Structure 1
Amino acid sequence: MLDLAATVTEIDPADERALRAWWEVGEAASRERAYDAWPTWEVARVAVPRPRPDLDVVLTVATDADDRVVGAGRLHLFRADNPQLADLEVYVVPDARRQGVGSAVLADLEARAVADGRTALVSTTYAPVGAESPGTMFCAARGYPVASREETKLVDLRTAPAGWGELDRREADRIAAYSVVGFERRVPDEHVEAFCAMLSVFSSMVPTGDLELGPASWDAERLHATEQRFLDSGRTWVGALAVAPDGTACGFTELSVHDVDPRHASVGGTLVLPEHRGHHLALAMKLHSHRRLLELFPGCEHVETGNAGVNAAMNAVNEAMGYRVVERALDVQKRV
């Protein structure tokens, strides 16, 4: 390994010139992924600097001896939940790899996390199906074993909806006395309490492998702050709720899309409470939310989601809707 002098410094996200340099490193490092996953500058310049009450975000850059920005880091310090965790991201421009830049960025992020009392450091790295990537090899070499495995999937909204009518006909009787209620931007008032309860148990009901994820705590105040943050950062939140015969919400799915670049949307989460499973509610909710997305943003081309390979039920739902695996997403974790 060559020894490149890399100086790591924290940047102020309100400094647009510094933020642009940080963004350019991430954009260059992400080009090798299976799809255009890095947000556009128009999106990032609004969304990244916006403060969040539930976590602290630290952005760093690494410069070489010629004062060129060749590395970037992002540290998430969770405040509302999981105070033992820190989430780290490391990016290096391809022509500066294997020269110590990534190691310098990582060491700086680790030191900040440990100083804040964190005992588990997590990150997500991506790789082609059936192959390794610079990210997976870097994490393995730096003592970050894989704690959870997922697959990143995309559905092509330009072709897949043609097959959704058949799903409607096939599943029409499966939801029985249940119903699906859609929402945009804000959860309906009458379902806020049930929605917060589902968010609070979400992490305990989806496969997370060996990740040290503890329970979350959601209430109306936190939910409304999240809704407002989406609005302020130029994102539209599109969701659907499954409603039981007694009128109580018992499942949800939600996705988001950036208003200034609506070509690509992302699923945040989908859950049906165990006692209400078996009625194909997840499929009904996803069909509803995806169709509403296309009504609001007819130019949207893809929706991205991620699922653990062991989550057979959700994988079956996504496959029926036309989702296809494009890469592996590996959650890695280091205990300190």
Structure 2
Amino acid sequence: MATLEIRRIDPHDEQLLRAWWEVGRAASVERPFEAWPLWEVARDTIRAPRHDGRVVHTVAQREGRAVGAAQLWLFDLDNTHLAEVEVWVHPEHRRRGVGRALLEELEAAAGREGRTTLISSAYAPVGLESPGSLFAAAAGYEVGSFEETKLVDLTTAPAAWAILDEEVAAALGGYRLEVAVDRVPEERLDDFCELLSAFLGEVPTGGLDLRRAEWTPQRIRDGEARAISTGRVSVYGLAVAPDGHLCGFSDVRIHRADPRHASVGGTLVLPGHRGHRLGLGMKLLTHRTVHDLFPECAHVETGNAGVNAAMNAVNEQLGYRVVERCLDVQKRLR
């Protein structure tokens, strides 16, 4: 068997980066929807400067052909004990040591950076295993949290949402809902920072070694600027409490260059403000806004832990259906 060569990629090396992207696309065709981004979207996103961490892209080649691809994400602003690893192997080259060699390369790089815990996600059909879930288990990655990947069909689901509007209106009381596109309004920025900083402490994360993240106005503005520069549109649903402060948010993300598919970033209603159908109301607002801005968008994707009963109920009302499992896995290096 020809020698396996592992190379780090200069993001501006178009040929090698495209080979990396091709492997990821081939490895993702088994998923139940087109989860892999278009080439132009992936290229521009990878090349855009980041303020919150560093990404290392690696490719495995045999006889000049890319057979595996990997990505290492190093958190720099918070959770600096963590690194996120992702490995893809072309289906024609699995079970030949490619994935293991790439993973060992990433684990060594993370260790040199002082990271003590590695996290990743493995996708599998409902009730079944997949090459990814089996590989993660064999490599010593334990499941920290189970999630369900869900899709809602934007071409059919909105027709059934009128009754949900009535339910939200009846429960709002002194609360109100707002929508923003691309940028959180300046007058809402400090409240939004508090919401994002509280997020990891409020959503189910199972046994994952995640710690509180601190968000500042500058961090949010930097992220917004990067998203806009790469063509990503962010739609924010905001819940305003009777005292005028934000008490909840939900966001949906979509790329102008590939508007077929949108995804939910996160949803949170602070304790003490629940029971007013704010989560449902914010999601109706963001999903309708995406549908209005991008009528060609076929579906929105989201992921929820199985134990998150409240959000699962909201998504069921909206018309989401489970299409696969997502296993959030981790490995402690020391």
Residue 178 of structure 1: aligned partner: 175
CA contact (8 A) 2:151 2:301 kept: yes
2:15 to 7, 14, 17: 17
The SS at the match of 1:95 is helix
Residue 302 of structure 1: aligned partner: 299
Q: Within 5 Å, which residues of 2 pair with 1:133-172?
A: 133-172=130-169
CA contact (8 A) 1:86 1:118 kept: yes
* Distance in 2 between residues matched to 1:23 and 1:7, nearest whole Å: 17
Query: What amino acid sits opposite 1:31 in the alignment?
Result: V
* Distance in 1 between residues matched to 2:85 and 2:287, nearest whole Å: 31
* Distance in 1 between residues matched to 2:203 and 2:243, nearest whole Å: 25
Alpha-carbon deviation of 1:170?
Answer: 2.8
Residue 335 of structure 1: aligned partner: 332
Question: Segments of 4+ in structure 1 off by > 3 A?
Answer: none
Residue 246 of structure 1: aligned partner: 243
Residue 197 of structure 2: aligned partner: 200
Q: Within 5 Å, which residues of 2 pair with 1:35-74?
A: 35-64=33-62, 66-74=63-71
CA contact (8 A) 2:197 2:215 kept: yes
Greater alpha carbon shift after TM alignment, 264-273 vs 38-47: 38-47
Cα deviations by residue, 1:129-171 (Å, 9 ceiling, x for unpaired) = 0000000000111100111110000000000001001111233
Residue 187 of structure 2: aligned partner: 190
Query: What amino acid sits opposite 1:309 in the alignment?
Result: G
Query: What amino acid sits opposite 1:258 in the alignment?
Result: H
Residue 109 of structure 2: aligned partner: 112
Q: Within 5 Å, which residues of 2 pair with 1:233-272?
A: 233-272=230-269
CA contact (8 A) 1:4 1:100 kept: no
Cα deviations by residue, 1:90-128 (Å, 9 ceiling, x for unpaired) = 000001000000001000000000000000011101000
* Distance in 1 between residues matched to 2:321 and 2:57, nearest whole Å: 33
* Distance in 2 between residues matched to 1:42 and 1:280, nearest whole Å: 38
Residue 7 of structure 1: aligned partner: 5
Alpha-carbon deviation of 1:5?
Answer: 3.0
Query: What amino acid sits opposite 2:199 in the alignment?
Result: F
1:27 and 2:25 correspond: yes
* Distance in 2 between residues matched to 1:154 and 1:5, nearest whole Å: 41
CA contact (8 A) 1:160 1:321 kept: yes
* Distance in 2 between residues matched to 1:282 and 1:169, nearest whole Å: 14
The SS at the match of 1:291 is helix
* Distance in 2 between residues matched to 1:208 and 1:251, nearest whole Å: 19
Q: Percent identity?
A: 58
2:226 to 222, 226, 229: 229
Query: What amino acid sits opposite 1:57 in the alignment?
Result: V
* Distance in 1 between residues matched to 2:322 and 2:58, nearest whole Å: 32
1:324 and 2:321 correspond: yes
* Distance in 2 between residues matched to 1:111 and 1:333, nearest whole Å: 15
Query: What amino acid sits opposite 2:134 in the alignment?
Result: M
Query: What amino acid sits opposite 1:310 in the alignment?
Result: V
CA contact (8 A) 2:150 2:322 kept: yes
CA contact (8 A) 1:266 1:305 kept: yes
* Distance in 1 between residues matched to 2:244 and 2:78, nearest whole Å: 30
Residue 311 of structure 1: aligned partner: 308
Cα deviations by residue, 1:290-317 (Å, 9 ceiling, x for unpaired) = 1111111111110000000000000000
The SS at the match of 1:263 is strand
CA contact (8 A) 1:26 1:91 kept: yes
Alpha-carbon deviation of 1:4?
Answer: 6.1
Alpha-carbon deviation of 1:42?
Answer: 1.9
* Distance in 2 between residues matched to 1:236 and 1:144, nearest whole Å: 34
Count the aligned residue pairs.
333
Query: What amino acid sits opposite 1:268 in the alignment?
Result: G
Cα deviations by residue, 1:54-88 (Å, 9 ceiling, x for unpaired) = 01000000011x22110000000000110000000
The SS at the match of 1:13 is coil
* Distance in 2 between residues matched to 1:225 and 1:4, nearest whole Å: 45
CA contact (8 A) 2:168 2:278 kept: no
Residue 79 of structure 1: aligned partner: 76
Q: Within 5 Å, which residues of 2 pair with 1:93-104?
A: 93-104=90-101
